[in-house]
Each structure stands twice: as C-alpha cells, then as structure tokens.
Amino acid sequence: MNLRIKLITFKFLIPFFLFCFGQNWALAQQGGIYTQSDVFHPVRGQQGMVASQEARATQIGLDILKKGGNAIDAAVGVSFALAVTLPRAGNIAGGGFMLVHLGKTGQTISIDYREMAPLAASFDMYLNEGEDVDKKLSQLSHKSAGVPGTVAGMAYVLKEYGTLSLKEVIAPAIRLAEEGIIVNEDIEYTLNKGKKRLQQWPETARIYYKPDGSVYSVGERMVFKDLAWSLNEIAEKGPSAFYEGAIAQKLVADMKKHGGLITMEDLKKYRIAIREPVQGTYRGHEIIGMPPPSSGGIHIIQMLNILEAFPLGDIGPNSANSLHLIAESMKLAFADRSKYLGDPDWWDIPIKGLISKNYATELRAMINRDRVTPSKMVNPEDPDPYESDETTHISVMDQFGNVVSSTTTLNFSFGSGIVVPGTGMLLNDEMDNFAAKPGVPNSYGLLGGQANAIQPTKRPLSSMSPMILLKDGKPFLATGSPGGPRLINAILQVIINVIDHRMNIAEATNARRIHHQWKPDKLRVEKGFNPDTWRLLEEKGHQVRVTNSLGSTQSILKTEEGFNGSSDPRRSGALTLGY
C-alpha cells in the first residue's frame, strides 16, 4: 500500500466505520432490536415496524406495538407525537389522508381527514382589485386556514380500528410537550429558515424562539406547555374539545381578532369522509391509493398502467431510456391532474377512466420512445416549483396483518405560521391548495381548473398519496412521502424500483429520482445522476434541470424474511424501527 492510500484509509475509512458503529449503537439504545439501516440495507423486524420522519415519534409508535397495541394505535400515537417533535408538518390543526388495511378482513379503508373550506369562503376570496391572487392572504393569514381535520380523523380511526384509548395513545405526546424535547438539526434548521415569516406572529415567536428572538440550538430543550394543554384536553374530552370546547373557542376568538373565517359552526360541522380507495394492478401486485381529493392515488395507478407495457426491468434502473418513459408518463398524468381533479363531493371526476388499463393504452400510444412530446402549452410565468418540506408520512405494519399508511400536513412548513394563542397549535394554510384563480399556477407551480375552485365546505385538491400494495391479498408495501406534487413521482419510483428493479427497500428509497409535472416543461433530476444520462435525455429533447432532493419516503416492505423498512435519508431526523 503506498503512503497516499494509507493516508486515505486513515482519513476517511476509519472515521467512516466509527461513524457507522456509532449510528447503530445509537439506534440500538432506542429500543429496536433490528436497527441496521443504511443506503443498501433495510431495517428489519419480525413482529412490527414503524417508519416516520422523526425518531422520537417512531419510538413512541414502536413502544405502542411492543405493548400489544396494533398498527392503528401506533399510527395515531405517532401522529400526535409528530405535532410536538416535527412542528413543521406534524399537527393537530392540519389534515391528511390515511389508508388502513385490516389483517382480519383483508379490507382497506381510506379516511379523508383533509381540511374543509369555511362556510364563509368564496370563489374569489383571494383576488385583489386587479383580479390577481393575493398570496399573503391565501398562504400566510388567518384566512388561509381550512377547518382542521386531524383530530377528528385520528379519533375516528382509533375508535373504529384501534385497541387502545385516545388517552393512552396521546399520553406520550403530552409527556414530550410538557417535559420538552431536545432540539435536533431539523428543528434548528427549519426554525432558522422560517424565522422572518414565523416571527411576524407574537405567539409563534414566543413559543418557537427564545425571548431575544434567537433560534434554539441543537441540544437545547424546548417546552410546549400550551400544546400539552391542548393535547390533554383532547385526551380527556375527546375530539369535542377541539371542535366544540375550549380549544375551539380559542381558535374562533383568534379568527375574529384577525379577520379569519372559521366559526364555531364550521368546527362543529367538520366531518371526515370515508371513501372508496382507488385500486389498480401492476405486474401482479394490487395497488391501493387514496381517492380524490387526493390526486396521487389516481395518478400513481395511471402512470403504472402506462408503464406496465414497457419492460422497465430490462431497460434498466435510471437508464436514460427508462427515465424517458417514466418522465413522459408523468407528463401525461399531470396534464390530466390539472383538468379533472378536485373534491369528489363537488365535482364529477372520471376516476374509472383515469385508472383504466384501456385509457393507459391510449395514452401510451402518445409516447415516442426516442423523442420528447413537448407539453402542449408553455406557461407564461414558468414558475419554478420548490421542494416542500411540510408534509409528512407514517407507515406502520403489525404482526396481525394490519397496515397503516398516513400522510398529514399543514401545507407550508409550519403552515400559515400562526400559533393560536393559548393552544400552542400551528394553523394550516391549506386553502392555498385550491385554485385561487383557475388557470393560474399555485405555489407549487401547479395549474388547477374549476374542479378545484374554492367553495364553502369543499376540500382542496391534494398531492398527498399514502399507498398500500398487496401481493396475493397480503400486505406487501406501505409507503408515502412529503414533497407537494413531487411526492407522487417519488412514490412511483419507489414502487418501480421494488417491483421492476427488484431492489430492497433501502436501495429503492435511495436511488436517485426525477420529476416532471407537465408544466413547466422541465425534467428535474436529483444531483447524482451521471451527466452522460442527462446528455442522452437532452438528446431526446428533455429540458433537464438539476434539483434538490425529491421527497422523503417512509416505507415498509413485507418480505418472506419479515418486515424490511427504510426512512429516506434525504431529510435528517427520520427513523424506521422494527422488533
């Protein structure tokens, strides 16, 4: 070995091995028996597994499973814990979608706990005198909040399918809020990034920043007494505390003070919706997704239908030829999204057609295997959509064959940025997911039509796509991701990597991703692709743009050996644990 190689060994390899040992040791202290996880090896478990964006929340879920709770108990426990430990996305004043697969009956239920527009909302409520969208109003004001659904959703699913009480599953979250949490990198980074926006609101500044306005550093403790009070109210009195009781009163008082729309009547009338999941098949697997107002379930099935006729496994993972086919399928699906998708309670959506194999055959015929088909119209504003960190996903599988795949959000990171005084809870800004002015792109650069126009009690269209895949009727894969529209494509690629490319779930998670959303007509590729591949894609006519990481998936794959899980390393702080 020459001197140079020896030096490299000491400088990089030894610290690398020490780092890996340290990681595994640290994970082992957190209670999971199977803890090894890296870019090539999944976390393993035999009896149950939890994957979430935040390690302490994952541990709470695993503890619930170990004590005999089922996947539903664990998922609800994790969801409330994330409201404390992942304030940018976990929530009690937001909403989301959950798929529950029941081991006993083989049934899969979809629970829509998405926010609803308040009764006083109107079609043009965000248009200023010049008929332009007032983005501050639609994104960062009391008027940007939809009527929250998380508490109703969690209480419902626990009552119907859980085995523990609300009090039992919320208790760990209350403890965390009362005793405080040690700030990790993610909290420090996101609070730093959101400082200007969040400190506009004195209550938010009081709770999330130090008295001198500075950010808590990694290792310091943050205590959330008001949030502990809210969680305790919900634990003691049930969801009525949130929708009719003391929390509701504080929320409505703040709305009145700041010109918001949510009233006691809105809160009392809030209802979750139990919907028929959308179902498709892909190379012998059943694909189960969230129906509208999620757009993801439909479009993931639609893209898989288009791609099923191409031998992606033979064409090869992340080769220019397979990426081209995937990108062209994305474009076709996102074009349909802009036209057809909205709240199914208000708008007829041709769901059956969109997910039919025949329609996919028709669409596939539009794909030229060698050349790009340009997106039909050029967007005059050509917005550059940014990665959104705000949404978060939880996957849980238990020994009873139950599976939960739940995605929840406040919309933006920390939602509207408004903490309701006395409650410690951040308010969503989900109203911005409506098409405030149909035909004008929203904050993700997505175009929406009349189907997604604002109407009172309507739910805004979402990209959130919790997915469950079955093989021979048994749980195979649970996955989901944040990332606005990008999450739809991130999940698609995890599924393709597992099924077509036979990757294990860690490899499938870590493989580089692409994103195309029809408009703007750009193919986003994560850093790390070979420049030769871009060049080949450009030769086919793609406008390739390198982008930040796409999505942050939380996945559990059931294999013959047991549960295999992987938390995406694209964002720090996530953890999968199995036992």
Using the rule CB under 6 A, which residue among 413, 433, 510, 576 binds ligand GLY?
A: 433
Q: Does 391 bind ligand GLY (CB under 6 A)?
A: yes
Using the rule CB under 6 A, which residue among 35, 70, 305, 409 binds ligand GLY?
A: 409
395: nearest Cα among 34, 49, 27: 49
575: nearest Cα among 18, 62, 73: 62
Give least dist CB 411 to ligand GLY, A: 4
Q: Where are the alpha helices (DSSP H) in 308-419?
A: 312-315, 320-340, 351-354, 357-364
Q: Would you say 32 and 45 are in contact if contact means Cβ atoms under 8 Å apart?
A: yes
State which residue, 37 or 139, has the beta carbon closest to ligand GLY.
139
Site size with ligand GLY, rule: CB under 6 A: 8
Catalytic residue among 85, 150, 391, 553: 391
> Letter for the amino acid at 60?
I
* Residues from 529 through 548 that contact ligand GLY (CB under 6 A): none
Which segments within 124-269 are labelled E, that is strand? 181-182, 221-222
Which segments within 183-240 are labelled E, that is strand? 221-222
State which residue, 89 or 227, has the beta carbon closest to ligand GLY.
89
Gap between the Cα atoms of 219 and 570, Å rounded: 22
Q: Would you say 464 and 96 are in contact if contact means Cβ atoms under 8 Å apart?
A: yes
Gap between the Cα atoms of 321 and 221, Å rounded: 50
Give least dist CB 138 to ligand GLY, A: 13
Q: Closest CB to ligand GLY belongs to which residue?
A: 462
Give least dist CB 94 to ligand GLY, A: 9
Q: Does 139 bind ligand GLY (CB under 6 A)?
A: no
* Beta strand pairing call for 544-547 and 523-526: parallel
Give least dist CB 464 to ligand GLY, A: 5
Give least dist CB 409 to ligand GLY, A: 5
Give least dist CB 461 to ligand GLY, A: 8
Gap between the Cα atoms of 79 and 94, Å rounded: 11
State which residue, 69 or 95, has the beta carbon closest to ligand GLY.
95
Gap between the Cα atoms of 169 and 297, Å rounded: 29
Structure tokens at 39: 């870019």
State which residue, 411 or 555, has the beta carbon closest to ligand GLY.
411
> Is residue 438 left, alpha or beta, with left meaning phi > 0 and alpha meaning psi from -120 to 50?
beta
Q: Does 416 bind ligand GLY (CB under 6 A)?
A: no
State which residue, 80 or 97, has the beta carbon closest to ligand GLY.
97
* Residues from 443 through 482 that contact ligand GLY (CB under 6 A): 462-464
Active site residue 108: no
Q: Would you say 526 and 549 are in contact if contact means Cβ atoms under 8 Å apart?
A: yes
State which residue, 70 or 139, has the beta carbon closest to ligand GLY.
139
What's 126's DSSP letter?
Answer: T
Using the rule CB under 6 A, which residue among 411, 416, 567, 576 binds ligand GLY?
A: 411
Task: Tell me the catalytic residues.
Answer: 391
- Chain positions contacting ligand GLY, by CB under 6 A: 391, 409, 411, 433, 462-464, 484
